[in-house]
Structure 1
Amino acid sequence: MIKLDLMATYYGPNPYSLEPVIVAQIQFVDVDTSILQQMCDSVVRYFPDWCESSATLEADVELAFARLASQWALSALTEVRGFLHQANAVRTSNGLRMYLGFHEAELSFRAMQLALRMMLKCHEPGFSLAAVRTALDGLWNLCRKKHPDYQATILMDAARQLKVPVLPYIRAVGYWQFGWGSRSRIFYESLSDQDSVLGTKIAANKQLCKNFFDNIGAPSPPFTMVKTVEDLPLAVQHVGWPCVVKPIHLGKGAGVTAGINNLEQLEAAFLNARTFSEHDILMESHIQGQDYRLTTVNGKLCSVVRRAAAQVRGDGVKSIRELVAELNQQRSGNLHRSGYLRVIEIDEVMQTHLAAQGLCLETILELGQVAVLRSNANVSTGGFLIEVLDEVHPDIRMMAEMISQALGLSIAGLDYISPDISQSWTVNRGAFIEVNSTPGLDVFLASGLFIQRVARELLGLETGRIATRLMVIAAKDLDRLERAIVSFPKPDHIAWVCGAQAGLGSLSIQCRSDQVWASIYMLLKIKQARSIVIAVSAEQFMQFGAPLEFFDSSIVQNLTLSSNWLTVLQKISGSISIVDSVPEEIFSLMLNESARANSDV
């Protein structure tokens, strides 16, 4: 029998990790080590991408088992969403401990439990990967709700390298804070708190966006709005053949049909768009040429990629259906592993596009013959990217930057079609199609760009930590300090937390959340906070982990922290002082030191 018990949830640096982790005790009761070794060998064989084979060489088989289970759980948690790194097991004087990073502690413990159940079965005859997949699907559905999506994880990856702290901003999934206090920015996907509300509204509505292009002189194809199928013959007289049909409020190529050449195709395209939206449908002239995505960051063009539609190349043997399946084997729900290229879905839109070429899913292409699977080249529908920034004509660069600055967008994705992007639209009828205010950051990775450079531009050089000072004292002394703090003078722009008391300057603020360290996280979200002073009990510190990943200076009351916890505090403090007693004046002194430091900046 193998028992797993949750021992602790640490929300910050702790003796096991400098990142938040859950810690569980694993016990082996009357388990043959040879059976454990078989389990270890089997899990590595079944899940080579998730588990390190070197772990099976560990002389301590129980420790090897626990480490593999932790690795498997981490991989399961981050397969579809998430940004976690910590997973291991250690043998301590109190027994064997597994630890695992978390966004939601309960979800990570569930992954641990699933890992153990899977490992207990994987060495048996008739072991079913399908059953494991069913259990994983349940876990992944929760991960999609609770974990940061791929947009957030790209920014988090850059922030981690730049040592910029990250916090959930509000309970709704998708809103993340980068940096603290006065040095913070809020992002939802790639949209930030510094983006213009009007600009995002214009970008979100294709009709408004087209009018905006016309108003600032940006080249854009003629368009009209269509309410019903009966309006199509008159509409096509305005835009001409070939044409494009699209809903006005959707992105990622949803409901879009391009290259329409006759009324029959037009009616089918309109009805397809209507299934996505009840609003009027936009119809515009089709611009011949390559499909480009121009991305600006802070008003400057930093990436231009040529987007190619999903396609397969024949080998003279396999059908188009088989070639798509073969291509999809290199793409998965794990976007990082698949180079941020999406799985190509076989649907009615694809089959209609193939039929227009005289093909179907069962067609066997000749050797070297290419079949384009869709009329649009969006990455979200299986397209791929080629970086061409150095080829862009100066007119196109200037107009793209003018558009993004006029809209007030810190990041913008502009769709542009042209036969040759090295030529101005005055030469070859190139045109801007639309603007996306939340462009996928994966475009940089999929095209081979160095995301840290782009993310640094997006996050801004000012995004980062504010000054932090920590006091760790005995619980009885913290109670005394809480009562005394009411009379302390508190400088403006200094956030402070003392036990259950919290505020900004002279303003006391009540925290309504029962989350661990909630009052600290609350104050770090206040833009006026230029520094923060925190007093916590040693008991809380050791029960929940350090409240933050770094402190500029720390004061700790002697003999309140065990040696391993004192070591943790030393690792995360710029400087540390150990004092025998903590007079109330020390906290007041820390507040005033923070105020002086701010005035020197």
Structure 2
Amino acid sequence: MTKKKAIEFLRVNHLRGPNIWTYRPVIEAWLDIGALEDFPSNKLPGLYERLVAWLPGLIEHRCGVGERGGFLERLKEGTWSGHILEHVALELQNLAGMRTGFGKTRSTGEIGVYKMAFRTRQEQVGLAALHTGRDLLMAAIDDTPFDLTAAVAALKDIVDDHCLGPSTAHIVEAATERRIPHLRLTDGNLVQLGHGAAQRRIWTAETDRTSAIAESIASDKDLTKTLLESCGVPVPEGALVRSAAEAWEEAQDIGLPVVVKPYDGNHGRGVSLNLMTQEDVEAAYHLASRKGDSESVIVERYITGDEHRLLVVGTQVVAAAKGEALWVTGDGSANITALVDSQINTDPRRGTDENSPLNALSPENGAEIILELKRQGMTAASVPLAGQKVLIQPNGNVAFDVTDKVHPSIAHAAALAARIVGLDIAGVDLVCEDISRPLDEQRGAIIEVNASPGLLSHLKPADGEPRPIGAAIVGHLFGQAENGRIPIVGITGSQGTSLIARLVGCLVHLTGKHTGVVSTEGLYLDQRLVTPGNAATWDAGQRLLINRTVQAAVFESNARMILTDGLAYDKCNVGVVTDMDGHEVLGEFYINDVDGMANVIRTQVDVILPDGVAVLNAAIPAVAELADLCDDEVIFYGADPELAVIQAHRAAGKRAVILRDGKVVLAEGSSETVILSLTALKPGAAEHPQSVLAAVAATVALGVPADLIGAGLRTFDPLPKKTNH
């Protein structure tokens, strides 16, 4: 039967952790390209031109050439469709707003079958890009139409539905810059930064330091103002009212003009400014009561000036933005709606999603705009005269950066306001004519303190310099020397790895750390068997990393887990490799020999932190050779102290753990320290001296004292203790 020109997916997998391809999550696809094996790109007329026309961004793909245009060079010279699909999937993700760049395609040894992987930040987006990419590539090969605009729009919808919002993503990127790991805890924006007991949590502009009491205070505008005033922070005179008539009465007492706003509102919703008449005040009252959660409304003195939003993180103002009023100018023929669309909404910075720093306006549906137009005797359908200016929105649009202009006294007042309310991250709204002058010189005042403030106006200001908000928030959560990491030991192989994991967990626990262990025997917390059965899985590993009591963690892994899921952690302090056995049962992954197995097992060494330690079995040459991949220290272990690898290692002044005369010995250079005799171990451990040596080497690498290791080994009971807790 003749094969057709097509790309068939034999297997598609999401590798969620470090894997044989890279340190980060990838989509891995096994491809059968059929008859296309005989048709590299240079033998497919018009393919190059069609792909470049559809995806001009491919010029940025460096590929193996390492230079801009590298992939297109390969495309001209001739490359196979699996490799092309890799780059198409990457570029589709870029077009959808999820930037990424890593990809690889390798032959399996079977004619026409390839393994391909590409980086993705989100599984559903990556899978959609893969399938869309195949459709696009086949259309380019077959010279058939393809609706790229619709395809990219569909991908963007998936990005919007499944990816972190831009503000949260910015914070996560700042954490990554500091090498702080992160875990996404929900489909939304709740993210854990760090692991175990060292973790912190964020929910965009809220953190695990954000007090629920403070948020409640901030949502009560009257209480907030009372607290600020009592501490000497300038606030506008005002009062809480519960009816339209009471609002007008209070406005007269304060003195016109006034501001009317919900007492529990946020983000400027339901706020009406510069009100001068009874009709306007009463209408504004009804608007504010609808926008808030109750009939209570605040009436306060109108302050002349522009609205400003100062972002306070911790005790510092880290960004400030200014608002401006919005006007349209009539032409004698277009109505207000058309003028807004042509003069305001055409601004590329405006939109309806969270990627837009400014909102698109709707005169027909925006209650505040409707009220403002009514005050001017107009509606959305009104047609202003040619040259007539119409005020559309007197407040909001706070997206023009003025951070560098903020007067120190204003920054101090804003930070004080956040502390008075009790918020660790706050948006402090104030009105003044000139942000570079003290408030008392211009009768300026702080009008609101908001919890969970929007960050986008500072990250993507309509005008001015973007501010490093993410770095400020991460710096607020983690000290300069902190990285959110707990000690992690990763153990990979097939020889005694479960026993090694339990031994390491026991010995680390003796140092006073709450220690978790996942192994093929179960999940352990402080030596208690919490979940029996195979826990050497991705999901069990995540349970350890999100557990806020865990101060150190030990992970048993194997080649199959690396091939199907990736490791459950991004980096480790100590990586242990016991052997290279087992390739015979991995044929389904095209792992057919020791070299293929070594490419899998090396993942454990690749993820060791730069100042971490590799613990390697010196008795197996293929394992010992992994030492060449290590950035820092290697500790060899082996029962035979005369092994050439160990002898050379010690001659260089380095450490090894060996057996000598039935005793476990820590060797460093020419010196030797006896840890204990094998006869002192309980039977379940004494029968496996290689596992004991590996466990000792791993705990030595973590800095556990030799005498404590000896004491722990004497008391270690290999029989698991069950718990009902």
Q: What's the TM-score bracket when you normalise by the shorter of the two chains?
A: 0.7 to 0.9
Distance in 1 (CA, whole Å) between partners of 2:217 and 2:136 is 50
1:433 deviates by 1.0
Match of 1:108 in 2: 126
Distance in 1 (CA, whole Å) between partners of 2:696 and 2:80 is 53
Match of 1:2 in 2: 7
Distance in 1 (CA, whole Å) between partners of 2:350 and 2:56 is 17
TM-score scaled to structure 1, two decimals? 0.82
Q: Gaps spanning 5+ residues in structure 1: where?
A: none
1:569 counterpart = 2:600: no
Match of 1:296 in 2: 312
1:570 deviates by 3.0
- The verdict on how the C-alpha distance between 1:596 and 1:485 changes in structure 2, with shifts beyond 3 A counting, is closer
* Partner AA of 1:578 in structure 2: L
Distance in 2 (CA, whole Å) between partners of 1:52 and 1:10 is 26
User: What whole-Å deviation, never above 9, does each CA across 1:436-464 have from its counterpart, x for those lacking one?
Assistant: 22222334322522346424433322342
Match of 1:586 in 2: 694
1:240 counterpart = 2:261: no
Superposed, which structure 2 residues align to 1:416-495 within 5 Å? Answer: 416-445=430-459, 446=461, 447-448=464-465, 449-451=467-469, 453-461=471-479, 462-474=482-494, 477-478=496-497, 490-491=509-510, 492-495=512-515
2:183–2:191 CA contact under 8 A, matched in 1: yes
Match of 1:264 in 2: 279
1:109 deviates by 1.3
Deviates more, 1:211-220 or 1:184-193: 211-220
- The verdict on how the C-alpha distance between 1:89 and 1:315 changes in structure 2, with shifts beyond 3 A counting, is farther
2:284–2:371 CA contact under 8 A, matched in 1: no
1:92 counterpart = 2:107: yes
Distance in 1 (CA, whole Å) between partners of 2:116 and 2:276 is 62
The percentage of counterpart residues that share the same residue type is 20
1:166 deviates by 0.5
* Secondary structure in 2 matching 1:201: helix
1:490–1:591 CA contact under 8 A, matched in 2: no
Distance in 2 (CA, whole Å) between partners of 1:435 and 1:209 is 7
Match of 2:526 in 1: 505
Distance in 2 (CA, whole Å) between partners of 1:288 and 1:386 is 20
TM-score scaled to structure 2, two decimals? 0.70
1:204–1:249 CA contact under 8 A, matched in 2: yes
1:17 counterpart = 2:17: no
Deviates more, 1:287-296 or 1:33-42: 33-42
1:306 deviates by 2.1
1:50–1:75 CA contact under 8 A, matched in 2: no
Match of 1:323 in 2: 343
1:255 counterpart = 2:270: yes
Superposed, which structure 2 residues align to 1:148-547 within 5 Å? Answer: 148-168=164-184, 170-171=185-186, 173-280=188-295, 281-309=297-325, 319-328=339-348, 330-331=349-350, 341-348=357-364, 349=366, 350=369, 352-353=371-372, 373-378=392-397, 383-394=398-409, 396-445=410-459, 446=461, 447-448=464-465, 449-451=467-469, 453-461=471-479, 462-474=482-494, 477-478=496-497, 490-491=509-510, 492-500=512-520, 501-510=522-531, 516-547=537-568
Deviates more, 1:450-459 or 1:188-197: 450-459
* Partner AA of 1:587 in structure 2: A
1:392 deviates by 1.1
1:200–1:437 CA contact under 8 A, matched in 2: yes
Q: 1:147 aligns with which of 159, 163, 187?
A: 163
Match of 2:89 in 1: 70
Q: Gaps spanning 5+ residues in structure 2: where?
A: 1-5, 62-68, 582-595, 620-637, 639-689, 709-725
* Secondary structure in 2 matching 1:539: helix
User: What whole-Å deviation, never above 9, does each CA across 1:491-515 have from its counterpart, x for those lacking one?
Assistant: 2324232315334434544499999
1:253 deviates by 2.3
1:542–1:565 CA contact under 8 A, matched in 2: yes
Distance in 1 (CA, whole Å) between partners of 2:266 and 2:86 is 43
Count of residue pairs brought into register by the alignment: 579
1:539 deviates by 2.7
1:126 deviates by 6.7
1:184–1:463 CA contact under 8 A, matched in 2: no
Root-mean-square deviation (CA), in Å? 3.9
* Partner AA of 1:60 in structure 2: T
- The verdict on how the C-alpha distance between 1:46 and 1:267 changes in structure 2, with shifts beyond 3 A counting, is farther
Distance in 2 (CA, whole Å) between partners of 1:4 and 1:44 is 24
Distance in 1 (CA, whole Å) between partners of 2:331 and 2:54 is 31
